[in-house]
Structure 1
């Protein structure tokens, strides 16, 4: 089966390191002739707020947000998914949380179903999940002293609950004080990263 990646990108600033990561990963996929689509949440002007009108339409199986319909279609047509996001205040940004809250909520029957024990994910078409983050906190400190919420909650709970499989997390820690040469080396690794879970990137 031909691969069709979906990139969910969450950063408002085009000169950010996250945006440089996005360009490196897009170049990687193009280089290997892998088809992909990009959801650029800020550039799309996605509204992460789940308002009262949206909630009332939910009970009718509808939404008033055309982007939600578009995003759900992309999710179901993809074979693999990549998230690119900063870590803000030890978690994902509100914009990305709103994407999960709003799009997945409207996707009942597409992204998940409700059982007696809670949510059962239906995004089994997504064979591999990659999460690329940046943090001001060094990675080792984030993992050991700050609760490691990206791995423990976002990846191991939320994404897994939706049916996303074989998750791999890469974090560029200490971004604020990092030197240009270190950033360049990391981006070069992303350019050459084999997106099949066989390539191991050292924690930094």
Structure 2
């Protein structure tokens, strides 16, 4: 498997789900193998409990999904995140995925200089987001927090390379032709999958 899609939206009739379908269509046209982690459909629990936290520093877990997800990440060369932006950031479900799955010794190691990402096998990273706010608002008034923190800090710290952000803003007020144009763009977008 080369490509791993990490999908974070609970509603199958959402625009995010249409984005997921467009990306899958794209990869199928390119004859690219892929796997989807659907956090909501998997009923992933993003919350640490006492036992999970006790096991954290040894890199352990008692959640079988954490083990599965980490193995999928370690075998991927391309990762595509598909998520809405809620209150200017990623949803708690996706934040919990990062918190719980990225284990010391597996997702990263620590040194006197900080974190060292262990997911260097991921050569290409794409973050596809949607929001009610238009993109110019996120860039000018929000300081592109998603790009500055999640993409250029968190994902970089984990070792993920060649990071790209594709965003569809103003989703609530958008008309069907604009949505269709964006979905068409995603079906022909060149995702690097090697």
Question: When the two structures are aligned, how many residues end up with a matched partner?
Answer: 193
Q: Name structure 1 gaps, 5 residues minimum.
A: 198-204
Q: Is 1:132 paired with 2:112?
A: no
Compute the displacement of 1:109 (Å).
1.4
Residue 17 of structure 1 aligns with which residue?
15
The RMSD of aligned alpha carbons is 1.2
Deviations 1:51-80 (A, max 9, x none): 111011234442110000000000001011
Compute the displacement of 1:27 (Å).
0.7
Distance 1:75 1:169 in 2: 19
Distance 1:63 1:171 in 2: 33
Structure 2 matches for 1:142-181, cutoff 5 A? 142-181=138-177
The counterpart of 1:87, out of the listed 63, 85, 88, is 85
Deviations 1:7-54 (A, max 9, x none): 000000000000000000001001111011110000000000011110
- Please tell me whether the aligned partners of residues 58 and 104 of structure 2 are also in contact (alpha carbons under 8 angstroms): no
Distance 1:121 1:60 in 2: 17
More displaced 10-residue stretch of structure 1: 56-65 or 16-25: 56-65
> How high is the TM-score relative to the length of structure 1?
0.92
